[in-house]
Amino acid sequence: MSIQWFPGHMHATRKAMLERIKDIDVVIEMLDARLPGSSANPMLAELTAGRPTLKVLNKQDVADPERTAQWLAHYNAQPSTRALGLDASVTAPAKALIAACFELAPLRGGMVKPMRVMIGGVPNVGKSTLINTLVGKRATKTGDEAGITKNEQRIVLADDFYLYDTPGMLWPKITVPETGYLLAASGAVGRNAYDEEEVALELLKVLQQPYAHLLEARYKWGLAPGAIAAMPDHELLDAVGRKRGALMPGGRINTQKAAEAVLNDFRSATLGRITLETPAQFLAWQHAAEQLQAQRDAERLQRQTQRRSDFHASAKRRKKT
């Protein structure tokens, strides 16, 4: 299954961002610290190319600290880029963003040249919570659901610091399959765009080796980490269902309820501090997707060439007759 979600308001957001970026000094991209590569929007990177960028790994308090350190190093090594880890509900770290923006654009500041910053990210990544923390009041709507913010908002954080908040936005075609599943697992994708059972199975597949001990601590199966790591994903889902009482008549497992339990346990951090990908894993997924796309493009070109050749051959035969 390919997971895609790009509703109408995201088209409008893209157009608005394209117009707004002309006046922007720094771009803040909010990332989910549990999936920092998959939650980085390639379309946002394309729209804001050439602008200094601050990558904010939000929700770091529920992410794996060792993997967060790897991702911060990965992004901090990129040109014109800084990266910070953050829990958007904590005031002091949030205010550090303002200082980081001035470091990225040191010639801005003061009433004559106020700092103009655009903040973007995938849906449900925590932008609105962060902004409310920065402002110190409920400036924007928040909620544990993708697509809460629908329009751009201009927020004055200081006399010389203007922040433009944009709605959460995905991109028209998610070409890395793993990215689609992880975004769905995190809640960044609308619920009508994916099958919960399939996403839960993919999530368990990702979790079962590095975080087998957390699965055991949560569901108390009485299994060793090695046994959990070796189980097929559908057996893991059944085991969750049995432990959570997701049973139907005859003792059959209600896999839909079991899937909902797995997704809720991950999203609420009940499972513990988890990061679903490392930089090396994500780059490997990207490379595989690029190779597959190149193969498809080559096959498409070959078919088009063959059709043209067949057409010309047919035309020649008709002329002779």
pLDDT tens for each residue of 49-67: 889 999 999 999 999 999 9
DSSP letter for 250, please.
G
**Amino acid (one-letter) located at 174:** I
Residues in the chain: 321
* pLDDT score of 149: 47
| End position of a domain, from candidates 165, 185, 204 | 165
Of 60, 56, 5, nearest in space to 184 by CA: 5
| pLDDT at position 11 | 64
Same-domain check for residues 93 and 113: yes
Q: Determine the distance from the C-alpha atom of residue 143 to the mean position of all C-alpha atoms in its chain, rounded to a whole number.
A: 17
- 220 vs 12, more confident: 220
Residues 154 and 207 in one domain: no
Instruction: DSSP for 11-28, please give it.
Output: HHHHHHHHHHGGG-SEEE
Q: In terms of domains, do 109 and 135 share one? A: yes
Same-domain pairing of 161 and 22: yes
Place of tokens 């924007």: 140
Mean pLDDT of the chain: 87
In-domain check, residue 116: yes
16 and 124 fall within a common domain: yes
Query: Domain for residue 62, yes or no?
Result: yes
Inform me whether the pLDDT recorded for 90 exceeds 80.
no
Average pLDDT over residues 87-99: 78
Phi, psi dihedral angles at 217 (to 5 degrees): -65, -35
Lowest mean pLDDT among 75-84, 97-106, 130-139, 193-202: 130-139
Q: Check which CATH number belongs to the domain holding 226 and give it.
A: 1.10.1580.10
Per-residue pLDDT averaged across 300-307, rounded?
83
- pLDDT, position 4: 66
* 319 within domain boundaries: yes
**Mean of pLDDT values over 303-307:** 83
Higher pLDDT, 72 or 293: 72
Q: Same domain, yes or no, for 249 and 210?
A: yes
Distances (CA, A) of 167 to 14, 95, 221: 10, 21, 42
Same domain, 39 and 138: yes
**Cα 193 from chain centroid (whole Å):** 15
Q: What is the mean pLDDT of residues 275-286?
A: 96
3-state SS string over 165-190? ECCCCCCCCCCCHHHHHHHHHHCCCC
In a domain, 273, yes or no: no
Task: Determine, yes or no, domain membership for 184.
Answer: no
Residue 261 domain boundaries: 195-267
Residue among 167, 252, 263 nearest 207 (CA): 263
Judge if 30 and 66 occupy the same domain. Answer: yes
Look at the alpha carbons of 133, 137, 138, 139 in this order and tell me if their dihedral is positive or negative.
negative
**Within this chain, do residues 28 and 161 fall inside the same structural domain, yes or no?**
yes
How many independent structural domains does the chain possess?
Answer: 3
Distance CA 194, CA 305 (A): 36
In Å, how far are 167, 169, 174, 284 from 8, measured between CA atoms? 12, 11, 16, 31
Q: At what angle do helices 196-207 and 233-243 cross, to 10 degrees?
A: 100
- Same domain as 312, residue 205: no
Same domain, 214 and 304: no
Return phi, psi of residue 136, to 5°.
Answer: 85, 15
